[in-house]
Amino acid sequence: MSAERMDDTLIDVPRGLTNVAVTETAISQVRGHQGYYQYRDRSAIDVAQTATFEQAWQLLVHGRPPEGEALRQFAATTQHNHHGLVREVTQAVTTASTAGSLDAMSGLKAALPLIAQELGMQPLYDLDDQRRRENADVLIALTSDLLASFHRISKDDDAGAPASGDGLVDRYLHRITGAAPDAACERALTSYLVAAMEHGFNASTFTARVIASTGADLASCLAGALGSLTGPLHGGAPSRALDALDQAESAEGGVEGWLRAEISAGHRIMGFGHPVYRTVDPRSQMLKQIVTDLGGPRVQAALEFEQAAQQVLTELKPGRALHTNLEFYASVLMERCGIPPEMFTATFAVGRVVGWTAHILEQARDSKIIRPSARFTGPEIEL
């Protein structure tokens, strides 16, 4: 059992801190049994379907979405003036790698603290709220550029200034695919990234808040969150969901046979189930409609896979609410928009970095360090 120390008394809590409220937040709320979540005072799905990336960013980090001229001005500020620094840091980090190659997520984890140091970003403890928000906006804007730069380097392509575009999503998609995106894909990816920006006290968000509670600099908080995100049980599963589709389609027993074999072997079906939702994941419902509208050869296979998986899971795991989660149709959407599988988790991070920074800023206003205890199970030494 996990435990929290109060003086010399340990209070047992559920494994994984399930259903334990560790603090208060005004950023988001997830109602798992109702299949609903919100960003501040708005339905998150409504925001994902209607807002730009920059509007959702402002809502979560600054508490209000900009409109009209304010939106245009804010979008312009995301086209930062650090292109030369980004190029130097990405190339330096890549050169320092002894593996001969570096994936975008590993590169970003190494690059963010270096960028912050070069820009003179101080620990959160030493900054007022305004400076913290300024640092947050810079690092959010730089994240997509850094990820795209590492991707281009891995392809032996130019890692220089970002492609021109009206917004962050347009520029990111342009650099990843090498071509200006069509409006449908740009809107689809925007909806996905906004829906993925924030989702309560998930593992990476909690990691970021723990580090923020020490007063560390914002880049260090983000690097820790990124490390958590790479785990297959958290944000590292979108490409695995696509792998499952490929394996099932080519299996001798067909999709149903493959599913039965995987579940009987105790393997998890990636893209299904969620630790919070006990009904349909509203993000998955939204993305399912988006990819259906986009069309493409993968969509029908995904729809048939979902139907078969629901039937087999209901039969073999009765009483378990195992529906598709965000990652299942996100993989189909990203593939349809030209994003390669190795950039799926990195693309998720382009959105989630907004939620992380919002939580980091909120945590930084609390002077209490997060310091739980554990119940010792080793041999006791008599004093």
Token pair in block for residue 202: 């998930």
Q: Decide if 122 contacts 217 (C-beta within 8 A).
A: yes
Catalytic entry in 234, 274, 323, 359: 274
198 noted as active-site residue: no
- CA distances, 95 to each of 88, 99, 375 (Å): 10, 10, 44
d(CA 81, CA 144): 14
**How do beta strands 9-13 and 28-31 pair?**
unpaired
274 in active site:
yes
3-state helix, strand, coil in the chain (%, to 5): 60, 5, 35
Tell me the C-alpha distance between 227 and 142, whole Å.
18
List CB contacts of 171: < 8 A, sequence separation 6 or more.
Answer: 79, 144, 162, 163, 164, 165
Q: Which of 54, 198, 262, 327 is catalytic?
A: 327
> Hey, what amino acid is at 278?
R
Nearest of 148, 140, 138, 98 to residue 118 by alpha carbon: 138
Supply the residues annotated as catalytic: 274, 327
